[in-house]
Structure 1
Amino acid sequence: MTRTVLITGAGSGFGRGVALGLARAGHGVIASCQIWPQVTDLRVEAAREGLDLRVIKLDVLSAIDRAHALGFDFDVLFNNAGIMESGPVAELPPEIVRRIFDTNVFAALEMAQGAARKFIAAGAGRIVWTSSVAGLVKVPWDGAYSASKYAVEGFCAAMREELAPYGVQVCTVNPGAYRTGFNDTGMESQDQWWGQGPRVMRHWPVRELTRQSDPAEMIAAMINVLTMPNPPYRTVLPEAAAEMARREQTEEWDKRL
């Protein structure tokens, strides 16, 4: 079945890979990028491959951009845009926490609400959120990002039940650590603020992340979830991350301080 998919955060990483993969498979794609240079770059890549790919500018924090994007005709929303900044919860600047939640939670929610209204009226549609393994387990030094993805999990679980009677499907994709650059820059970002005054905790050293997987596996899974007739509600990869999440969730019930 051919889909028309609106993708947020298509300027890099999973979003870009999914946009190109969907277009190669003949699906309709509205690929949105945060900034104009990303729009230009993705348009050039699509033209180079001869792909029919509509690329638009969408900063999910902009009400104007959101309204423009939601005005297109599509039957699947891939709510993928997100940011990560690391640091200990006890000292992470509230400004950074708000920025993470504004992008990962509130802007994503507004996109999902806009799509839901369209889909309810149509009697069909699918909303796929990029959550994270971090939304299922504890992630020390990435607590703000993890908390934002826990919030995503809560909204998705509620929307799944609320929208099902209207023919609208909701599901999540939960990547672990993949080599998209997202985790590397998210970890390094703490050095932008760590030196701004005295700290009571020791710095968690920025280090090369050498145990990340090839993102092609997750991109292929995302494309399947976006296009297959009846996808699973939750898709967690790599499999080692899924096993770790199940194990840690079970252990939390018996953990003592």
Structure 2
Amino acid sequence: MTKRVLITGAGSGFGKGVALGLARKGHDVIAACEIWPQVTELRQLAREEGLELRVIKLDVRSQIDRDHAFQFEIDVLFNNAGIMESGPVLELPPQIVRDIFETNVFAALEMAQGFGKQMAQRGSGKIVWTSSIAGLVKVPWDSAYAASKHAVEAFCSAMREELAPYGVKVATVNPGAFRTGFNDTGMESQDQWWGQAPRVMDHWPVRELNKQHDPQEMIDAIIDVIEADEHPYRTVRPAAAEEMAKREQREEWERKV
């Protein structure tokens, strides 16, 4: 059955891939991009492919943009927009942490609240959040991002129970390391501020991210979650990341310091 899906963070990465993939399958997609140049680029790409794809400007941190998006009545919200910046906990500038939480947690929550209320009143709908493998395990040097995704996990698990009686489904998708460029720029971002003050800790050794996976695997899994009437609450890819998360969660119960 054709669904109307609004996707945040559709200007790049998983959001862009899922928007195009759903449009190719005939769904009514509203692809929401953070900045106008992304809107222009995605519209042109859709035209070149002959796809019916509505592209809007939506910076999830902007109340103006959110209110514009809330005019749409949708079947599924793919709550995907997010940012990452690396750095050790002792050295992280507080502004970096606030920015990450503003986007990944507070803005995402406001998107879920706005569309969730519409869905609850209607008695149907689905909210799919992009969490991360980082929301399930420890991630040294990426603690701010991981903390934001742990917060996402908490909101999602609560919303899943709270909205079930209203006919609204909630699910998470939890990517591991994929070649979207997200992880690479997240690591590089530390260099923007590292040299601006004396540091107690050493800089995280620069290393090549050469073990990332083809993002199409995650894109396909997300499309399956959006389309299906029944599916797991949590979808982790690749399989090795799911196994690692389960192992680390068990080990935390036995860890000594």
TM-score (ref. length: structure 2) = 0.99
Cα drift, residue 205 of structure 1:
2.0
> Structure 1: 5+ residue runs without aligned partners?
none
Deviations 1:148-204 (A, max 9, x none): 000000000000000000000000000000000000000000000000010000000
Give me the whole-angstrom Cα distance separating, in 1, the residues matched to 2:149 and 2:81: 12
Confirm or deny that 1:7 pairs with 2:3.
no
Cross-structure match for 1:240 = 240
Cross-structure match for 2:98 = 98
Q: What is the identity, as a one-letter code, of the residue corresponding to 1:122?
A: R
Cross-structure match for 2:63 = 63
Give me the whole-angstrom Cα distance separating, in 2, the residues matched to 1:144 and 1:128: 22
Cross-structure match for 1:230 = 230
Cross-structure match for 2:128 = 128
Give me the whole-angstrom Cα distance separating, in 1, the residues matched to 2:90 and 2:138: 15
Give me the whole-angstrom Cα distance separating, in 2, the residues matched to 1:75 and 1:64: 22
Cross-structure match for 1:51 = 51
Cross-structure match for 1:28 = 28
Give me the whole-angstrom Cα distance separating, in 2, the residues matched to 1:123 and 1:73: 13
Cα drift, residue 252 of structure 1:
0.1
Confirm or deny that 1:184 pairs with 2:192.
no
Cross-structure match for 2:41 = 41
Give me the whole-angstrom Cα distance separating, in 2, the residues matched to 1:199 and 1:73: 50
Give me the whole-angstrom Cα distance separating, in 2, the residues matched to 1:106 and 1:37: 25
Cα drift, residue 220 of structure 1:
0.2
Sequence identity percentage? 74
Cα drift, residue 119 of structure 1:
0.1
Deviations 1:206-253 (A, max 9, x none): 222000000000000000001111121000000000000000000000
Cross-structure match for 2:172 = 172
Confirm or deny that 1:138 pairs with 2:148.
no
> Structure 2: 5+ residue runs without aligned partners?
none
Cross-structure match for 1:77 = 77
Q: What RMSD in Å do the two structures reach over aligned CA positions?
A: 0.5
Cross-structure match for 1:151 = 151
Give me the whole-angstrom Cα distance separating, in 1, the residues matched to 2:239 and 2:178: 12
Deviations 1:26-84 (A, max 9, x none): 00100000000000000000000000000000000100000101111211000000000
TM-score (ref. length: structure 1) = 0.99
Report which stretch shifted further, 81-90 or 203-212. Answer: 203-212
Give me the whole-angstrom Cα distance separating, in 2, the residues matched to 1:142 and 1:169: 30
Confirm or deny that 1:252 pairs with 2:252.
yes
Cross-structure match for 2:110 = 110
Kindly report structure 1 stretches of 4+ aligned residues shifted beyond 6 Å.
none
Residue correspondences, number = 257
Give me the whole-angstrom Cα distance separating, in 2, the residues matched to 1:77 and 1:58: 13
Confirm or deny that 1:163 pairs with 2:163.
yes
